[in-house]
Amino acid sequence: MTKQGGRYASRIGPTGIMGALGLLLLLFLAACGPVIWGADASHLDVAAAQQGPSARHLLGTDSLGRDMFARVMAGARLSLILAVLATALGSAAGVLLGAFPTVLGRRGRRAWESAMNTAIAFPALLLALCVATVAGVGAKGAVLALALATAPNYARLTYTLASSVSGSDYVSAARMLGVSRARLMLRHVLPNIAEPLIVTTTLQVGGMLIALSGLSFLGLGVQPPSYDWGRLLSENVNRIYTAPAAALGPGVAIVVAGLVFNALGETAAALVRDDAASSARDARPRRFAGARRRTTAGGLPRAGTTAQQTAVPAAGPDAYALRVHDLRVLFPGPAGPVHTVRGVTLDVRHGETVGIVGESGSGKTLTAMAIAGLVPEPGQVTADRLEIAGRDPGTLRAPERRRLLGSTTAVVFQDPLSSFNPALKMGRQLTEASEAHLGLPHAEAIRLAQDRLKQVRVPSPAIRMAQYPHELSGGMRQRAMIAMGLMGKPELIIADEPTTALDVTVQEQIVRLLGRINEDTGAAVLMISHDISVVTSLCRRVVVMYAGRIVEDVAVGSLLDGPAHPYTEALLAAVPHMGNDRDQPLATIPGRPPQSLELPPGCAFAPRCRFVSDKCRGEQPPLEFRDGRRVACWHPRPPSPADRTDTTTTKAGPA
Ligand SMILES: Nc1ncnc2c1ncn2[C@@H]1O[C@H](COP(=O)(O)OP(=O)(O)OP(=O)(O)O)[C@@H](O)[C@H]1O
């Protein structure tokens, strides 16, 4: 037995072993029951009618003298086949129905949810009885009725599971590569929800067997001369006090078979739970694993409000990899709309490296996700202008938009593990977009993927492509994610905290890799980080965000000479460096960033700023171009450090 096989066997436990043995017995009965006992089961012997148990007739005989034991054994085949058939039909219809909303818009999904909730609220057995009566009394009608009655439950389960998976980074990554909705569902969502669906289906077979027996018992299922356990029970139940064995035989068979399927389902569920727990343990060192990321569908910007901020200096129309003017993202909330990104204007030239920095919650990620069309619902995105590589994705039809984003933009997410589909090998994920968009033959797509992996210095690309994401180290996965972005010809690489989940040495390698790709391919890089020192090591320009707005946009050289916004100054002062006096506590920024719902009327940084004036509290400063940078402050700091005497930071005392 392999190591893996041994590990599973040791985790199956007594319930699983009983279930497995029971399943073998049921399979044997289904395959051989009618062959071995079929003749006895239908042999009429009126002289021996209605006998009690004896050595010849273990369970006695029925009213026509047929051997009840033989009938119970031979009846197993029809009982089991009908239960499996009804479960298969119900689950297949339910999964299809549950996957359907993924191709619907928001309104369509709402209507679907209401329809499903109504269908689920209707009692399943009552529905089955109605359908069985309408579809015709008999085995076919009973199977159809029960399949129809269980489909809505499956549909809702599939929908709920699919919705949770669609929020994961790897689905966003695949969406970003332009993978169509149907393909997303088939290759990325369904394989990852298969386990709970299989567990539910196994449990369902037992329930279905009991329900079908119930319909046969009521005379709505299997009709004579055919018989299943429910039918046998119904024919002999009137003798329960005189010859109980004849009635108890089929009853016990139903209960035992139900228990076998329950034991199998429970064992499968326990194995799935164990696997989930061990993957969670494996993932623990990745600091933010699972805490992220609200990126699923979400609209692309529509033209909306007027620009309120000063754009960066003019350049030719072809000079930009990205142009975004007055970008806004809001989420409807119980206390009114929550404005999370509030009028961001940002142009990135071809080949430029721009870093977005700011504390947690400043709107960095949502800005990037809005650009990539990945803001989760119910987020609403508007912009005066949004162009990637000179084209506005908002004006394109869905397939063209997918193609544009998939071929011109690459997104590197924070957690390299959650960015890949755990159910697919690396090779399939890397080649997917180029096969779908560029129409490359499979062999060529594989060659391209291997080239790209080499380009990002992943050793032995052919071996890596045959592995699953969890078999690669964190740094290697992040390189592979970058390679995946390079499968097209990206003009813009959006890297959302690409190093946060990695250890320090690997962080440095990834930052260097992004720099090299920028030089080699000329792709612009938009790097998001809360660590200003990581950004300055890669980027030539730094955009500082606070409370959903840009407060300073400055070249790295000028920034190191001296920041203009007190918030930028405070961020820089809070970076620990080798020159720090170890006896002194680290500098921190006093106070905390405002919540999106409680933004002050004036400058959002005012409550934490040492240079605050009445004007700051009352009026929001516009983002204005001055001294070669953009800054939103009523009291910008002098450009030269020599002119400064104050600091906005305080020293954190020892705990
Ligand atoms: N799906 C959502 N629904 C409602 N509010 C959201 C949603 N996603 C983000 N926000 C809010 O929007 C604001 C900006 O979030 P965003 O993730 O862009 O911040 P960030 O600067 O990237 O922070 P971090 O570094 O922690 O990721 C936060 O206040 C956050 O709570």
pLDDT of amino acid 586: 65
pLDDT of amino acid 354: 95
Q: Which of 430, 437, 435 is nearest to 402 (CA)?
A: 437
C-alpha to C-alpha distance for 575 and 597, rounded to whole angstroms:
29
Residue 364, ligand 1, Cβ within 6 A: yes
C-alpha to C-alpha distance for 246 and 69, rounded to whole angstroms:
8
Phi/psi for 242 (5° steps) reads -90, -45
Q: Which of 364, 367, 374 to mutate to test the pocket of ligand 1 (most atoms within 8 A of CB)?
A: 364
Q: Which of 590, 596, 636 is nearest to 616 (CA)?
A: 636
Which atom of ligand 1 lies nearest, measured to the CA of 369? 18
Please say if the pLDDT value at position 67 is more than 90.
Answer: yes
Q: Which of 318, 316, 321, 340 is nearest to 330 (CA)?
A: 340
Residue 361, ligand 1, Cβ within 6 A: yes
C-alpha to C-alpha distance for 225 and 48, rounded to whole angstroms:
19
Neighbours of 575 (CB within 10 A): 14
pLDDT, mean over the chain: 81
Which atom of ligand 1 lies nearest, measured to the CA of 329? 12
Residue range 451-500, pLDDT digits in tens: 889 888 888 999 999 998 888 888 888 888 888 888 878 899 999 988 87
Q: Which of 166, 296, 330, 340 to mutate to test the pocket of ligand 1 (most atoms within 8 A of CB)?
A: 340
Confidence of residue 280 (pLDDT cuts 50, 70, 90): very low
Neighbours of 238 (CB within 10 A): 11
Domains of the chain: 26-41+76-277 (1.10.3720.10), 540-655 (3.40.50.300)
Please say if the pLDDT value at position 296 is more than 60.
Answer: no
Which range has the worst mean pLDDT, 27-41, 215-229, 575-589? Answer: 575-589
Residue 298, ligand 1, Cβ within 6 A: no
Dihedral angle at the C-alpha atoms of 373, 375, 379, 382, nearest 10 degrees? -40
Which percentage of the chain shows pLDDT scores above 70?
A: 84
Residue 250, ligand 1, Cβ within 6 A: no
pLDDT of amino acid 31: 93
C-alpha to C-alpha distance for 374 and 17, rounded to whole angstroms:
46
Q: Give me ligand 1 centre to Cα 323, in Å.
A: 22
Residue 167, ligand 1, Cβ within 6 A: no
Please say if the pLDDT value at position 134 is more than 90.
Answer: no
Residue range 400-419, pLDDT digits in tens: 777 788 778 888 887 777 77
Q: Which of 547, 493, 532 is nearest to 363 (CA)?
A: 547
Q: Give me ligand 1 centre to Cα 12, in Å.
A: 43
Lookup: tokens for 236: 């002999």
Q: Which helix (H) or strand (E) covers residue 97, if one does?
A: helix 68-99
Residue range 335-368, pLDDT digits in tens: 788 899 999 999 999 999 999 999 888 999 999 9
0.95 exceeded by the pTM? no
Q: Which of 188, 233, 211 is nearest to 71 (CA)?
A: 233
pLDDT of amino acid 394: 80
The Cα-based distances of 463 to 427, 447, 480 in angstroms read 9, 13, 13
pLDDT of amino acid 174: 73
